[in-house]
Amino acid sequence: MVRPPDITWDQSPEYKMAQLSGYACYIRWYGLSKVKDGCSLQESKMLQRLGFTDIDAIDANQAMLDVAKSKNVYNRLICDFLGLNTLDIKNDTYDGAVATGCFNESHVTGDCFPELVRIMKPGGLILIQIRADLLEKMVGFKEAMEQLENDKMWTLVKKEYFPNWYVDKPIDGFRAVFRII
């Protein structure tokens, strides 16, 4: 598989998304064995530095949300599983969402995409990141992204593969940014 060359931070979709101002949502799934800093404090603080000052967090693990609460980064901590269910969030709430580290066959799958679209404002951006091997392995994931594009629910802004999903393991990642229509 041909990989695009590395890009600098100011060319990355995270940077472009973070240039927006408004209300953001950070979505991450952790197992208890991975409790470290709570809903990826590093990414959330980056969103704050770049203009997102009103950030909620969604996690299916209350222990992670308890850690996140102590970091004073998030406004609302929502303990719920992201899937076919309807979240306790009003329609058209968020200007941006980052979903990273949550997609896996036993965690969050592509069936959550319609719910993500529902809670996003028209014109809002969703950044989705997944390990490249899982992108290929998860049945229906790529098709679910394509279906929402075909249904004119969102449009692809950018997609790319990137190296080093983990710092210490040679696993590539994949990211895509979608704009809500």
Mean of pLDDT values over 39-50:
59
Indicate the pLDDT class of residue 156, thresholds 50, 70 and 90. Answer: very high
Indicate the pLDDT class of residue 55, thresholds 50, 70 and 90. Answer: confident
Indicate the pLDDT class of residue 63, thresholds 50, 70 and 90. Answer: confident
Handedness of CA 180, 85, 27, 12 (dihedral sign): negative
For the chain, how many residues are written?
181
Count of CA atoms in the C-beta half-sphere (13 A) of 51:
11
Q: Which two tokens stand for residue 18?
A: 């973070």
Residues 61 and 155: their CA atoms lie apart, in Å, by 30
pLDDT exceeds 60 at position 44: yes
pLDDT exceeds 60 at position 131: yes
Residues 119 and 87: their CA atoms lie apart, in Å, by 9
C-alpha closest to that of 153 among 119, 130, 128: 119
Q: Give the pLDDT confidence score for residue 178 in this predicted structure.
A: 92
Residues 133 and 45: their CA atoms lie apart, in Å, by 28
Q: Give the pLDDT confidence score for residue 51 in this predicted structure.
A: 63
Indicate the pLDDT class of residue 34, thresholds 50, 70 and 90. Answer: very low
The secondary structure of 21-69, three-state, reads CCEEEEECCCCHHHCCCCCCHHHHHHHHHCCCCEEEEEECCHHHHHHHH
160 vs 100, residue with greater confidence: 160
Mean of pLDDT values over 91-113:
85
Q: 115-141: string of b/e by CB count within 10 Å (b at 16+)?
A: bbbbbbeeebbbbbbbbbebbeebeeb
Count of CA atoms in the C-beta half-sphere (13 A) of 144:
21
Ranking 7-11, 35-39, 78-82 by mean pLDDT, the lowest is 35-39
**Domains of the chain from N-terminus onward:** 11-180 (3.40.50.150)
Task: Kindly report the average pLDDT of the chain as a whole number.
Answer: 76
Residue type, 26: Y
66 vs 16, residue with greater confidence: 66
114-128, pLDDT tens digit by residue?
999 999 989 888 888
